[in-house]
């Protein structure tokens, strides 16, 4: 796989996500003491964007906690296309010290992310006790497997494994995304996969989103991408997961605790409620699992 201008556009999506997250954190939507290390100054984003990021981060967090509740910290987390996600440090500040935490992204991203660490580098990757930040192209399954092996992932194949894919798989061709997901589902007998990405791309609003995605280096949508949530869940089952559920983000938002929603409402007024509804209807969270201990992970569990 060669490096292209599209890859540059894809890498830039991380800067965008990090800026949006920092903006929402500064406004008080959620707490993140680490995000300021990765992006210095940001302009204020529209309330609908901040709200969308809040729902995204809150929803991922809710299921990460469900996973940890079920298996404790003797587990591993694999963060695909991690960008500048600060989850590792946020969990470290709680009682949740994860056994093995592996982050993967393009080397251009992981190199920047590792800038300040007290760590050991091996071939440009960072390996420390229980934390691995490795550069690779997620489209090359062979490379992903080598890097996961170097990070000790397969040595713990029996350990409960959480795989995170937050706005990542959509940047891969469907065949490559499928091969990666099917491999992970097969490699870890007790695992949960959380995917946050676009859905319902076939209506008018969705077509505009699909065009924006294409401009940012996304391959054209195949059968897997952009369908309704039920199709995303069925697809995860077809790739080897025993159970899978998916919801659009409006459904997820309504299922969050009243306090969380009231707090968000108090932070800033929404000018364009209709726009937020449209955005929420075009993003989905999928939770796919293997192993009985994760079978009951659910929105209201």
The residues that touch ligand SAM, with contacts defined as CB under 6 A, are 10-11, 13-14, 17, 81-83, 85, 105-106, 109, 137-139, 166-168, 171-172
| Tokens at 167, concatenated | 């706005």
CB of 15 to ligand SAM, least distance (A): 9
Q: Which is nearer to ligand SAM, 107 or 240 (CB)?
A: 107
CB of 112 to ligand SAM, least distance (A): 10
| Region of 123 on the Ramachandran plot (φ > 0 left; ψ -120 to 50 alpha; else beta) | left
> Reduced to 3 states, what is the DSSP secondary structure of residue 263?
helix
Q: Which helix (H) or strand (E) holds 174?
A: helix 174-187
Q: Which is nearer to ligand SAM, 82 or 236 (CB)?
A: 82
CB of 170 to ligand SAM, least distance (A): 9
Q: Which is nearer to ligand SAM, 85 or 125 (CB)?
A: 85
CB of 12 to ligand SAM, least distance (A): 9
CB of 262 to ligand SAM, least distance (A): 25
CB 43 within 8 A of CB 236: no
CB of 154 to ligand SAM, least distance (A): 19
- Map tokens 């009682």 to a residue: 95
CB of 295 to ligand SAM, least distance (A): 26
Q: Which is nearer to ligand SAM, 137 or 250 (CB)?
A: 137
Q: Which is nearer to ligand SAM, 177 or 243 (CB)?
A: 177
Q: Which is nearer to ligand SAM, 78 or 232 (CB)?
A: 78
Q: What is the 3-state secondary structure (H, E, C) of 135-199?
A: ECCCCCHHHHHHHHHHCCCHHHCCCCEEEEEECCHHHCCHHHHHHHHHHHHHHCCCEEEEEEEEC
The two counts, helices (H) then strands (E), for the chain are 11, 9
CB 275 within 8 A of CB 238: no
Q: Which helix (H) or strand (E) holds 230?
A: helix 229-238
Q: Which is nearer to ligand SAM, 104 or 191 (CB)?
A: 104
Chain CA centroid to CA 26, Å: 21
Question: Nearest 5°: phi and psi at 153?
Answer: -65, -45
């Amino acid at each position: 796989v060669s490096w292209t201008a599209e890859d540059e556009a894809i890498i830039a999506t991380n800067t965008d996500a990090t800026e949006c997250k920092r903006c929402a954190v500064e406004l008080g939507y959620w707490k993140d003491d680490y995000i300021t290390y990765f992006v210095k100054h940001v302009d204020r984003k529209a309330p609908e964007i901040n709200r969308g990021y809040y729902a995204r981060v809150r929803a991922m967090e809710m299921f990460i906690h469900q996973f940890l509740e079920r298996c404790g910290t003797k587990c591993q987390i694999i963060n695909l296309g991690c960008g500048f996600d600060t989850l590792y440090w946020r969990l470290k500040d709680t009682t949740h010290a994860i056994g093995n935490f592996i982050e993967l992204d393009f080397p251009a991203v992981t190199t920047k992310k590792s800038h300040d660490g007290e760590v050991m580098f091996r071939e440009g990757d960072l390996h420390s006790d229980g934390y691995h930040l490795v550069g690779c192209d997620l489209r090359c399954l062979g490379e992903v497997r080598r890097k996961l092996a170097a990070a000790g992932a397969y040595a713990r194949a029996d350990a409960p494994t959480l795989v995170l894919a937050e706005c990542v798989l959509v940047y891969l061709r469907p065949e490559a995304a499928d091969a990666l997901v099917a491999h992970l589902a097969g490699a870890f007998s007790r695992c949960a996969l959380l995917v946050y990405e676009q859905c319902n791309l076939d209506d008018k609003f969705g077509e505009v989103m699909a065009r924006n995605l294409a401009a940012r280096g996304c391959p054209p949508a195949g059968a897997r991408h952009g369908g309704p949530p039920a199709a995303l869940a069925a697809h995860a089952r077809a790739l080897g997961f025993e159970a899978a559920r998916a919801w659009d983000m409006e459904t997820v938002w309504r299922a969050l605790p009243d306090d969380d929603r009231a707090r968000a409402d108090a932070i800033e007024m929404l000018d364009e409620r209709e726009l937020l509804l449209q955005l929420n209807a075009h993003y989905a969270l999928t939770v796919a699992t293997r192993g009985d201990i994760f079978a009951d992970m659910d929105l209201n569990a």
